[in-house]
Structure 1
């Protein structure tokens, strides 16, 4: 068959077009978003969620793109230097895929949960060289504004948490920065979450653009072997509320075994610390209690805080200051008080012969070079040691001492102070649970404390959301500002709840009055108002030191708290049954309301009570956001229809702005 030259030219063009079309079609299967190669797609069977692993054409890096149910990107996660610009291979495994370059450089992605409204993946890597560092990074936002929640407890608490800045920050409980609650959980307004395993030696870096999670074998983690893992879970949901409650129920855990004693919720806790400091004795405690009663204040627990021992760490009552402690506790109980006593995990070197006995029995944390030396706020530099609660014998000894105090003196319960990992000697040596070192003592200390019942408080948490005890915010300063003052109270409340610690004990009303700080009448009253719809009230600075009207105002808000204690307890039970938080941000009512997503000076009790305290000095009014729904003013009969701002709500010193949501059946 002959083909003329003109036909040959036409045929050549035709073939070129066809081949080009086929090539484009084939390429379109593998390329997406600016010619980024899709290495693998992971689909969930029971939902519209899916995940793409892509290689970026721009810099050859690899990225996980997590898509929500509307086929939009919920989050990107950029693989770090373990893959870089290398060409990876993909191998199907049971319920997922292995992504690898070599046998020593591999990542496993497996479907963990696959439900209609919630889906999650496990990301797992094992490293066998302590010199190897892994880092994965998450952009905090792109063209669309994204808000983030969860994260660490900090002295300068941020909300939303994309405002934090960290550099090579070891993610463990520590005294520095008031980092008592350090769950490895973050979630965003795009209905995405990441939860990093406790066994990962985790450091974080965060700026305005991204947060990076680094795994590496460095102090303060255990460094005396080569193997470690970098594992985490990522996932999406159809709503932020659904996402968070699912993470609590499936991963972080919810309270079980009951809740804190009801009396600690209904009536105030009274503490001797701010009022008297270390200078306490039977007389000061007795007079303090009698004055509380004489002024007609309701009460639950009274804490004998600080120096009741003959030396720090002995566990022996100082008979000079407390010569008849049993009679004192008996009198306090007759006045209706639960009697508590402060305790701590330290022993000072000069506390003899008890220190030498603890050393001889191997009850103290040692470093790998054999030193027990550490320091705390009641010792000189390197003049103390820390009990080793990872040692069953030491833990049993410590527990027996407390039980003896209860038995011999009628003490009901203890206030357990400290517990953060940073109090140990550098490079501590433990005999077990090395994969979570050094945090195993934090967990062991808190779990031991919880054995003493449901009237106590702790101040640290690390995988202990299941416990039935009050968790106290770390010491606040007596100031208005956001750097550990009143303005950081509400953001800290959110941080506790979103990390699963819903039985929140706010710190002392008015703060701790350290240094040059002074608790003024205005600061005291505004702090009390801000705490009124939180789970518990704790007084230490006495309200009768101020003008007579402060006593009446204090009683007013103590009563308001007690009047709503039933609802607080109802929310406690909901947390136990369903994993719901107790106090939440305003967006909990309407999570797609962007105005509500960033409000850090209002909060909700459940989904029924909106609280907007005045937290600025010399202010007698404030701007308030009313979210979706109808809300009745708690101080009048006025009803507001959200979404709206009240520009100048009047709030003189005796007024707390709050609003009660009108339920649907009440509207009809």
Structure 2
């Protein structure tokens, strides 16, 4: 009797295990499939307040405030083509967003157009993420949140005058798998944690700006926010989408031949004729195929080619 009972129990256990194993396998497969699924980010904008949130799964990966300079609510405007959202601050500015999905990457494109001579300003909270990118600065913090940088023309400048340095990119990367790229035609000004406000702000304006505007056009602010599965995922995409790859070798003379700097002889007081005389003297001394480096400090503003000496055009033919 006891022997039969033991056999019955064993048979029952075998049957239970036989049933549970397929269930367990299906469950594990489902879990594995879920872990490989691509979760698109979702964008929400409150037209009353201008508050913006970008969600990934159940988490907010980026939040901030659009149209920081406007104190009125936006109204919805007609969607154009494949627009995701369209908002207008009457008589002041219009914002359109479009959505793009590439494999595991979700990108939201923001396109601001001023309707009058207004600054266009969007600010995002840097917490709780770590942020990287931006420009060379006098105090080179890494991540950049420890900066205390008030709004400044986002162009090459003088580090010692509290400007952005000579190496800069319109690119910012978050440890939460978010990347921001501002398009090159926007007259961009940037602040980073100004007065310890914890914000990364993008401003487009031609007022008090280095950006030329001969036609007196109204400013635009165009940028793209992309999210990925993680920081590596989104950075790989942004690198392939926006960074040009080398297409050949540099001229070997750039490495083999001397570099002649104008600073050694002329300091900041240079013009076109002096540069040409300098080049002739180099060649007359048998140093062919060399390169000349025009040092900085000679311009009223970087990129203007206007001398600090007599306020004249130093290189009229350039």
Normalised by the size of structure 1, how large is the TM-score? 0.35
- Tell me, in whole angstroms, the C-alpha distance in 2 between the residues paired with 1:236 and 1:262: 40
2:71 and 2:44 map into 1 onto residues whose CA distance is 14
How many residues in Structure 1 have an aligned counterpart in Structure 2? 265
Q: 1:124, CA displacement in angstroms?
A: 0.8
Q: State the distance in 2 between where 1:320 and 1:236 align.
A: 54
Q: Which residue of 1 aligns with 2:134?
A: 151
Residue aligned with 1:250, SS: helix
RMSD after superposition: 3.5
2:227 is aligned to 236
Q: CA deviation at 1:52?
A: 3.0
1:120-131 maps to which residues of 2 (within 5 A)?
120-130=107-117
Q: Match of 2:121?
A: 135
CA distance in 2, matches of 1:323, 1:94: 59
Per-residue deviation at 1:188? 0.4
Query: 1:72 and 1:206, CA in 2 relative to 1: closer, same or farther beyond 3 A?
Result: same
Listed as ranges, the matches of 1:337-352 within 5 Å are 339-343=290-294
**Residue among 144, 149, 153 paired with 1:161:** 144
Paired position in structure 2 for 1:214: 203
Aligned to 1:255: 245
Q: How much has 1:123 moved relative to structure 2? A: 0.7
Task: From the superposition, tell whether residues 318 and 184 of structure 1 become closer, same or farther in structure 2 (CA, over 3 Å).
Answer: closer
Q: Is the 8 A contact 1:47 1:114 kept in 2?
A: no
Equivalent residue for 1:48? Answer: 39
Identify if the C-alpha distance between structure 1 residues 104 and 385 changes in structure 2 by more than 3 Å, giving closer, same or farther: closer
- Superposition deviation, residue 118 in structure 1: 1.0
Q: 5+ unaligned residues in a row in structure 1: which ranges?
A: 1-45, 270-299, 331-337, 349-364, 367-371, 376-380, 389-393, 396-668
Which of these residues, 170, 178, 187, is aligned with residue 192 of structure 1?
178
- Matching residue of 1:387: 315
Partner of 2:30: none
Q: Assess if the C-alpha contact under 8 Å between 1:100 and 1:107 holds in 2.
A: yes
Partner of 2:259 in structure 1? Answer: 303
**Are 1:108 and 2:96 matched, yes or no?**
yes
Instruction: Check whether the contact 1:47–1:115 (CA below 8 A) recurs between aligned residues.
Output: no
1:203 aligns with 2:189: yes
Give the deviation of 1:216 after TM superposition.
Answer: 2.2
Larger strand percent? 2
Q: 1:72 aligns with which of 29, 54, 59?
A: 59
By how many angstroms is 1:301 displaced?
4.2
Aligned twin of 1:170? 153
Displacement of 1:226: 4.6
SS of the counterpart of 1:219? coil
Counterparts of 1:85 and 1:319, CA distance in 2: 60
Task: Find the aligned partners of 2:203 and 2:280 in 1 and give their Cα distance.
Answer: 53
Q: Which runs of 5+ in 2 are unaligned?
A: 1-36
Distance, in Å, in 1 between the alignment partners of 2:225 and 2:63 is 11
Cα-to-partner distance string for 1:197-230 (whole Å, 9 max, x where unaligned): 2222222222241122222231223455152212
Q: 1:316 aligns with which of 262, 272, 276?
A: 276
The CA distance in 2 between the partners of 1:140 and 1:217, in whole Å, is 26
Aligned twin of 2:87: 99
- CA gap 1:263/1:67 in 2 versus in 1, 3 angstroms: farther
C-alpha displacement at 1:92, in angstroms?
A: 4.1
Question: Aligned in 2, Cα 1:263/1:78: closer, same or farther, shift over 3 Å?
Answer: same
Q: CA deviation at 1:257?
A: 2.2
Q: 1:347 to 1:186 in 2, by over 3 A?
A: closer
TM-score by length of 2: 0.70
1:319-330, aligned counterparts within 5 Å? 324-326=284-286, 329=287
Q: 1:206 to 1:322 in 2, by over 3 A?
A: closer
